[in-house]
Structure 1
Amino acid sequence: MRPLLRVTDVRKYFPIREGLFVQKEVGRVHAVDGVSLEVRAGETLGIVGESGCGKSTLARCITGLYPVTSGSIEFDGDPRREVQMIFQDPYGSLNPRRRIGSIIADPLVIHRVGTKAERRRRVQELMELVGLNPEHFNRFPAEFSGGQRQRIGIARALALRPRLVVCDEPVSALDVSIQAQVINLLKDLQAELGLTYVFIAHDLSVVRYVSDRVAVMYLGRIVETAAGEDLYKLPRHPYTNALLSAASVADPDLSARRERIVLTGDVPSPIAPPSGCRFHPRCPKAMPKCVTDDPRLLAQGRPEGGHLAACHFPVEPGERLGSEKAQIEQESTEPHLEKGGGT
């Protein structure tokens, strides 16, 4: 089946310039550096990684907010209307001087959809759909809580009936109890409207709960991708293994028994990425080959399983990694995300 979204060898570099009157390019930030992925209709692809790995830049490339430096992004439809975005900050993404009815209606106005009365009805329908009081469309953002503001952002993203919604860390700025409500709202909307999500986050428990497949990014590249449960049960890239060891665990007894894998050194600069495997300066399995040869994403385990990892020496079943060979447990855990009312 043809994917809804296909990203092929996408690169996004930001120039670094010096000079007061005549500026000269002296370097580039390799924010996204050769990413390829596919998203099928109706699924949720989770993208995880440390801050600065290029997740949000990739999201903005997919939605067209950033032009790509090279590569291609193909969408099966009209990307101007059918690809929308939910932003991370529910406070900064809403203009405090405008009423929320106008904010939600912006996509309809820009694309000249309906009359003024029809747009108002559509806005109130969207507000009710996301759990807001439709009679509050004349209020300003300051009159709403953080969770309610994010619901406003979700309503705006749904105004044009998109097929693909890019969620750029949509719950990271919210309290834990409100996170659960917004996540469950997104899952309910997906089931009701047939939406496809690209869900970006750094909280691995949240990504596990919402995602059908997961892609792990490091320093601008995808280093591992697999079905959600396959990746969590048996991560093959050492970086993924380290991320999972640091993930929050609901069971306090299990959390007490686990030892976190502590990576040595800092994340290298995206201005001058390391040669070979970009993770090798911090990798507990690094060998001379990792310094010189850039690994490709290759199938791990069953080829039909779709589990890919870019590693010369992938983690084997039963292998334990960590500083001073610290042992970790890979037991399955589910995040405590209960349904709840709107706030």
Structure 2
Amino acid sequence: MNASDTSNSTPKAPATARGGTDHDVLLEVENLQKWFPVSSDRLFRRGKEHVQAVDGVDLQVRAGETLGLVGETGCGKSTLARCMTRLYDVTSGRVTFDGTDITSLSRRELRPLRREIQMIFQDPYGSLNPRRRVGSIIGDPFAIHGVGKGAERKRKVQELMELVGLNPEHYNRFPAEFSGGQRQRIGVARALAMRPKLIVCDEPVSALDVSIQAQIINLLADLQQEFNLTYVFIAHDLSVVRHVSDRIAVMYLGKVVEVAEADALHEAPRHPYTNALLSAVPLADPDLSDRRERIILRGDVPSPLNPPTGCRFHPRCPKAADTCAAEVPPLISRLNDGPDHLAACHFPVEIGENLVEARPTIAAERTEFAPELVNGDQS
């Protein structure tokens, strides 16, 4: 494929929400950047370098949906989540929640907003203070926002514990007395206390056994239906993300490279990176698994201290051409997919295209290390 083939990739305006109305967009990030300064020890380089953890992300979360966010370790998923919730200040760009620009709000101005946006953290062991009793941990949101006192607060906390499947009589126990799955239920109860509109789930099941993962996922689904919650669900496991998500956004090295409805993404991925990720997802049918060829990408993920020019995936992409190194591809609809399927690729993958046989075209920019699977860390 050459540069002239991009004529089939007519840009289309992305949909803003279910039904195509702005009123359904609960949270929106626009050209979001989060860079972390690091000291440089290089002899002739003064000042500081920056880790470009998130660089120019545009993304919308629609009310009532679950938006899945996937990508390799270090691609910026958790950093993006913390920028969405304003746990991190952004370097540039804008975060809008429920029609309000929250990018530059002070801590005092953010306090009322904390009732509406909550987070469930990855590590159920490290996210709970081991020196405090569970009742106090779950009751913190009530104390911070001045909701209820004494017996009333205890009743609310015990109702939350029962709601997430914990024994209310264990109100005075410490986190060490609970299993990993039970500790994550404590985190869910704490996030749910103020009945938020949006909950960001930062890999909430990655540290749990498979059977416990299913229980937590089912719990989150039940709570979403009961309280009309909106989720941003971050994970490595694409099969889990497909199961829980309405739409999926794929990140690579600080940028969103593809956004689509969950089924559309799995059936017709357009970005070569998404295609490579899906080729490594385990299949339940052994015959299908044997017939499928995995896409092996050469080289390592580039450093976010000095990311590649143009498309950041081009040094590892089997379809890369000179255009990919020179120009940043916009995140737009391609190959007549419709306004809900967006991909940032100059040469999107077509249905039935075999990338296993593709050959790199910019050899000088590729490392010659041993091949590795693109989703090497599925933990």
CA distance in 1, matches of 2:284, 2:124: 27
2:77 equivalent in structure 1: 55
SS across alignment from 2:349: coil
Matched with 1:340 is none
In structure 1, the residue matched to 2:227 is 193
Shift of 1:303: 5.8
Q: Is the 8 A contact 2:310 2:327 kept in 1?
A: yes
Q: Distance in 1 between matches of 2:351 and 2:29?
A: 31
Q: Is the 8 A contact 1:16 1:25 kept in 2?
A: no
Structure 2: gaps spanning 5 or more residues: 1-20, 101-111, 360-379
**Structure 1 counterpart of 2:56:** 34
1:12 to 2:34 alignment: yes
1:207 equivalent to 2:241? Answer yes
**Partner in structure 1 of residue 156 of structure 2:** 122
1:15-51 CA-to-partner distances (Å, cap 9, x unmatched) read 00258xxxx7420000000111111110000000000
Report the equivalent of 1:152: 186
**What is the match of residue 249 of structure 1?**
283
The within-5 A match list for 1:133-148 is: 133-148=167-182
Counterpart of 1:259, as a letter, is E
Structure 2 CA distance, aligned partners of 1:172 and 1:37? 24
Is the CA contact (8 Å cut-off) linking 1:47 and 1:199 kept in structure 2? yes
Deviation at 1:79, TM superposition (A): 2.9
Letter in 1 for 2:51: V
Pick from 87, 97, 105: which aligns with 1:65? 87
Matches within 5 A, 1:161-172: 161-172=195-206
Contact in 1 for aligned 2:120/2:201 (Cα 8 Å):
yes
Trace 1:73-84 onto structure 2 (pairs within 5 A): 73-76=95-98, 79-84=113-118
Give the letter aligned to residue 39 of structure 1: V
8 Å CA contact 1:15, 1:25 repeated in 2:
no
Preserved CA contact (<8 Å) 2:319 2:358: no
1:153-191: per-residue Cα shift (whole Å, max 9, x none)?
000000111000000000000001110111011001100
Which residue does 2:146 correspond to in 1? 112
- 1:266 is aligned to 300
Shift of 1:116: 2.2
Whole-angstrom distance in 1 between the partners of 2:287 and 2:212: 26
> Retained in 2: the 8 A contact 1:86–1:165?
yes
Between stretches 109-118 and 307-316, larger displacement belongs to 109-118
- Given residue 38 of structure 1, which amino acid in structure 2 is its aligned partner? Q
- Which amino acid in structure 2 is aligned with residue 253 of structure 1? D
- Detail structure 1 runs of 4+ shifted over 4 Å in the superposition: none
**In the alignment, residue 128 of structure 2 is paired with which amino acid?**
L
CA-to-aligned-CA distance 1:95-132 (integer Å, 9 cap, x gap): 11110110001111111111122211111011011000
Cα contact 1:263–1:323 (8 A) shared by 2: no
2:373 corresponding residue in structure 1 = none
Aligned residues of 2:40 and 2:49 also touching (Cα < 8 A): no
CA contact (8 A) 1:227 1:306 kept: yes
> Where does residue 132 of structure 1 map in the other structure?
166
Kindly provide the amino acid, as one letter, of the partner of residue 311 in structure 2. C
Q: Matched residue of 2:297: which SS?
A: coil
Partner of 1:86: 120
Structure 1 gap ranges (5+): 326-343
